[in-house]
Structures are given as C-alpha cells and as structure tokens.
A = this chain, B = another copy of it.
Amino acid sequence: MKQQITDFFKILQDDICQKIEAADGKGKFRQDLWERDGGGGGRTRIIEGQHIEKGGVNFSAVQGALPEKIAKALNLEEGNFYATGVSIVLHPKSPMVPIIHMNVRYFEVETKNDEPQTWWFGGGIDLTPHYVVEEDAQFFHRHLKSVCDQHHKDYFPKFKTWADDYFYVRHRKETRGVGGIFFDRLSGQDGFSKEQRFDFVKDVGEAFCPIYTYLLKKNKNLEFGEEEKKWQYLRRGRYVEFNLVWDKGTKFGLDTDGRTESILMSLPPTVQWVYDHQTKPGSREEKTLQLLKKGIDWT
C-alpha cells in the first residue's frame, strides 16, 4: 500500500503545481530533484510568479535506517522506516492575499517478525492572512469542516483545536494565523482502517486547490499601498519566528540533516523586523491581532 500512497502524493504534487500555475497566470515551477544520503529523495518545486511571490510544493519519499534521534522522539525502536508526503507553502505578493500551508504525509516502520505494522498519516492545512478577513476565515474553516465531516464527525473539532495549539507563536502570545486543521499519528485506532485514513488524507490534499485558488482570485486585485506592504513584511517576520523557533517539522528536518533548501523554502521572500511595533488603535492591523487567538469558531 505504501506504493499506492506514494503514487497518490506524486500525482497530487503534479496536480497542485499545474493548478497553481494556472491561478498565477504567469509563474512556472522549476524543479530540483534530490537524493537523500540514507535512501530516497524528493522533487522540490519552486514558483516565483506574478501573484505568488515565492512558493514551494515539495514531494519526498525517503527510507532507510531510522535515525536514533527520530526513533527516540517518536518513541519507536530502531529499524527501517519509510516516509512520504507533500508539503506546500505559498507566499503571495499582495498583502491582501493570505499565506497558506499544507502538508500531507505517511510514515511506516518495517515490520519485524509477526508484530503488527506501525504506520500513520499526518498533515493539515492552515491559513495565515496578513489581514484577517472574517468571511475568508469562515469560508476556509467551513470548507475544511465539510471535508472532515465526510469522514468522521469528531475530525473537525479535534483537528481544528489541534491546529490552534500547534500553530501558536508562544513568545508572541498569538496564533500564526486563523488556523485550520492539524492531525498526526492517524493510525488504526478507534476501528479506522488504513484505507479510511488514506481516503481522508486524499480529500485533505485535494481540498488545497479549490480553497486557495478561490482565496487568491477573490483578493488578488484588491488595492494596497506602502502601509499594507510594511505590515505584510512584519507579519512574515512572525511566520519566520514560528517556523524557526516552534515548528517541530522544521526543527526536526534541520536537526537530522534534511535538505536545508527544501525545508527552508517555507521562509518568505522579504521580511522586516521593527523593534516593539505598535498598531494604531482601531486600525485593521489591530483588529487582525485581536483575531489571532485560539478557540475562535469560524464555522
């Protein structure tokens, strides 16, 4: 089945790249193929377009001996592993268009003797608007809820809360954006079959394009000026802070000698840090900060 999952992720990458190129209308992805020393490799694809200033859509399928650090962190015995997934971050040119991130992944450990196989799926989609637009956040969460609800009624509330907790910039006491869904270690617990979990992950992956192309189209032609660009650069700074300080995936990748350029393709093109920046009372910037909180029900 791992081949089937891998094939799906490859086709998903192809499909997403094609649709993002169409939505951008100008940019084309360039591809870097890479191999991992211990086994496997990936296809990193990067776009610099007219609407997507910098975006990456990565596919990877890696295997080999489970590094000790990872085995420990995952509470697994050492052995051979297989991991595959698709990972996306898009930084739009316009501050009126949100940043989006998606990841879908599958992990398994080689079975020894007659033990049951260890496997799981993980992933999520989350949205980081520079300016929080309530109707966009609602559209986003409702779309994710409808995807989740087709698989299990507990999925959305559980994975929405998980995203609130995961995408939290602790030292800023704010969420990275308006959240979304996050899930990990979805395995055979609670009577789910592998096929059922895979079907869910497929639907999450396939939800990416309709969601983002809608949000891009809706907002890409909105006017903005210097003030909005400046705010975008500051918000991107928070994105960097989250990814480099708190994101477990990034830390793990860098810590275990992953391919640096593929891991850090998530970082924005231009960023600014201003000491102790304060928003103006009553401004859209202030309103945005007030909405970067856990526990908001956007549906």
Contact = CB atoms under 8 A, between A and B. Distances in A.
Interface of A: 32, 46, 54, 56, 170-172, 233, 237, 240-241, 244-245, 251, 254, 257, 260-261, 263-265, 267-276
Given A244-B240, A245-B251, A171 B260 contact: yes
B245 A275 contact: no
A32 B263 CA distance: 36
Contact of A244 (B233, B245, B257, B261): B245
A254 B245 CA distance: 9
A56 B275 contact: yes
A209 B254 CA distance: 36
4 closest A-B pairs by beta carbon, nearest first, are: A244-B244, A267-B273, A171-B254, A271-B271
A260 B273 CA distance: 12
A292 to B, nearest CB: 15
A275 B48 CA distance: 10
Given A245-B245, A265-B275, 8 more contacts: A46-B276, A54-B273, A171-B264, A241-B244, A241-B264, A244-B245, A261-B276, A268-B273
A26 B17 CA distance: 50
B244 A32 contact: no
A69 to B, nearest CB: 13
A159 B140 CA distance: 53
Nearest to A240: B240
